[in-house]
A and B are shown apart, each in its own frame.
Chain A
Amino acid sequence: MSDNTGFEPKIIAFLCKWTTYAAADLCGVSRMPYPPNISIISVNCTGEVTADMILSSLAKGADGILIGGCRPGHCRYEGGNIKGSNRVYLLKRALREFGVNTERIREVGIAGAQGLVFQRAVEKFTADIRALGPSPVVSNV
């Protein structure tokens, strides 16, 4: 594992306001700390996250992107989460061609009541991105 001590990853999180965002909120009100590396953007549904949003985040310096929605079958919009997930799946194919390590993008499905799950997911993702090191994409821009 590379030595990335001192590197603080910048992580953009697109969170479904009905579930994962609510879980993040729960962490807040429950005083359950999670790494400050994460900047949260609330969306109506992960199906709303466009390629432009993901790619712009990378281009503007994000080292990791967390997309948090509902668990399968629980979407308020008849499967917007699954459509969103299919989009990320295909976009990753292009990202690999561009040389981007697709582990920088992680999808999670966390219910609103699962504050602890959210806390651990952010801790884990932050640690994983720290291990990956800074994203090389931003140097292009």
Chain B
Amino acid sequence: MSNKKTLAFYAASGCGGCSQSLMLSPSLAAMLEGVDIAFWATQGADLTSDDISGFDDKGIDVLIYAGPLHDESSIDTAKLLRRKAKRIVSYGACAHLGGLCGLTNVYPGAQLRALSKTDGEGFVQPLSAVIDVDYILPGCPPPEAMVTRMVEELFLSDDVPEIGTVFASSKGVCAECGREHVRNPLTAIRRFHTDPPDPSVCLIDQGYICLGPVTRGGCEAVCLRSNRPCTGCAGPVAGVLDQGGAILHALASLVSFSGDGNEEKEHQVLDSIPDVVGTAYKYSAASSLLKKRVNDGK
């Protein structure tokens, strides 16, 4: 019997970006040398529950799971995979946070892709809502530097990473951004396509909504280097539970502050923030503390 680790990749219905990001890692070749691949599959397409059942319990050393959970069958498969795998990596924003599909939890009738929701009850959940997850690799799709770190720590090193490791920075995106911080109050909300930002100054200081302060870094602030705001794909920074709530909290703290108890002006600025949930909870609605829309009278 080979002493190689057994690796499996499983993608529930997703866009294919996670699989690509893993395959394009410069350390892929090194990883493949050191592992036996049990399967490299997308939901239903390559292997059925029976096929998965055929593996020994804990027979897979590392399972990389990508994509959101959205119905009974994806939940059952996730539970089955949990039995078969010693370690599970929640890979990419959908598995980690619910991803962009999670906004469908808030807006009834919305569909990003044709997820086969079997009934009205189905809603998008992150993997960790259903099974214990050992490691997390954030990002939509995960950036190269983080993928490389995961490959190195999981497959190329003799040490086993501690359970709960997130293969990203423990600091926020701001720590990697490098833009100048000028501490302006927020007096009006600007949009980067109608009103392009100064590429050297903090976007929030210029009035753009950027999720950098509340989002886990490790991406080298890739979006900011393109002169665009961070949209939060890596999920909340360590210590924060609700990414959307945290950015709203931060923005409300930055409005120009009259302090006189007459907050009409401040409220006007806050009212002008467009698409609050789509902006603050873009990837994390399904893993937010509220999880989905409720019917609460008004």
Q: Do chains A and B touch in the complex (CB under 8 A)?
A: yes
Q: Which residues of A come within 8 Å of B, CB atoms? A: 50-52, 54-56, 58-59, 71-73, 78-79, 82-83, 85-87, 89-91, 93-95, 97-104, 132-133, 135-137, 139-141
Q: Is the CB of A90 within 8 A of B248?
A: yes
Q: Is the CB of A99 within 8 A of B293?
A: yes
Q: Is the CB of B255 within 8 A of A86?
A: yes
Is B172 part of the binding interface, using a Cβ–Cβ cutoff of 8 Å?
A: no
Interface residues on B, range: 35 or more
Measured CB to CB, the closest approach of chain A to B252, in angstroms, equals 4
The residue among B259, B261, B288, B294 with the most chain A CB atoms within 10 A of its own CB is: B294
The residue among B245, B292, B295 with the most chain A CB atoms within 10 A of its own CB is: B245
Q: Which residues of the partner chain A approach B292 to less than 8 Å between Cβ atoms?
A: 98, 140
Q: Is the CB of A82 within 8 A of B253?
A: no
CA distance A48 to B245 in the complex (A): 14
Q: Which residues of the partner chain B approach A54 to less than 8 Å between Cβ atoms?
A: 245
- List 30 A-B pairs, Cβ < 8 Å: A50-B246, A51-B248, A52-B240, A52-B245, A52-B289, A55-B245, A55-B288, A55-B289, A55-B290, A59-B289, A79-B259, A82-B261, A82-B263, A86-B253, A86-B263, A86-B266, A86-B267, A86-B270, A87-B248, A89-B263, A91-B248, A91-B252, A93-B273, A94-B281, A97-B277, A100-B296, A101-B298, A102-B298, A132-B297, A135-B296
Q: Is the CB of A98 within 8 A of B248?
A: no
Q: Which listed residue, A55, A87, A101, touches B296 by the CB 8 Å rule?
A: A101
Q: Is the interface of B mostly helix, strand, loop or mixed?
A: loop
CA distance A123 to B262 in the complex (A): 27
Given A52-B242, A78-B259, also A98-B277 (CB < 8 A): yes
Q: Which residues of the partner chain A approach B242 to less than 8 Å between Cβ atoms?
A: 51-52, 55-56
